Amino acid sequence: MPNDLGDSEDFRTAEQTRYDALCDLLKRSMEQTERAETLILTLAESVQNGTHQTVIHKQEGMGAVGILCACVCVFCALFIILGAVMIVQEIHDLLAWQDINRKDIARLQAQQQQGVKP
């Protein structure tokens, strides 16, 4: 293998030749990495300078559907409460009448057993 001095003979060993090839490969890899870094930095600067974003944040209420749903829920709860109050009164009245009727029936049964006419 000819060397840089023009000699036709190479006095380096195979291991030295391999190390030199690895050093050349590493040097080329480092040069490519530096070029890529400069390219990326240039690209990042150009993108950073030319891009502006505006973020608009809107805050809205429930809307018509949400208001309608809330009203329906409130009225349903109100009707359930009013219905429960009315039903509880009727149940209380029914229980009172049941007690009165039981007393009357018990009195009538007692009179019937004794043979007394009402």
pLDDT per residue as tens digits for the range 42-59: 888 777 666 667 788 888
| 61 in any annotated domain | no
> What are 66-105's pLDDT values in tens digits?
999 999 999 999 999 998 888 877 777 777 788 888 888 9
Using CA atoms, how far apart are residues 112 and 105, in angstroms rounded to an integer?
10
| 43 in any annotated domain | yes
Look at 82 and 116; give whichever has higher pLDDT.
82
Q: What pLDDT score does 5 carry?
A: 55
Q: What pLDDT score does 50 carry?
A: 61
| 66 in any annotated domain | no
Residues 112 and 82 in one domain: yes
End-to-end, the C-alpha distance of the chain in Å comes to 144
| 76 in any annotated domain | yes
Could you tell me the pLDDT band of residue 4, with boundaries at 50, 70 and 90? low
Identify the domain containing residue 37 by its residue range: 1-51
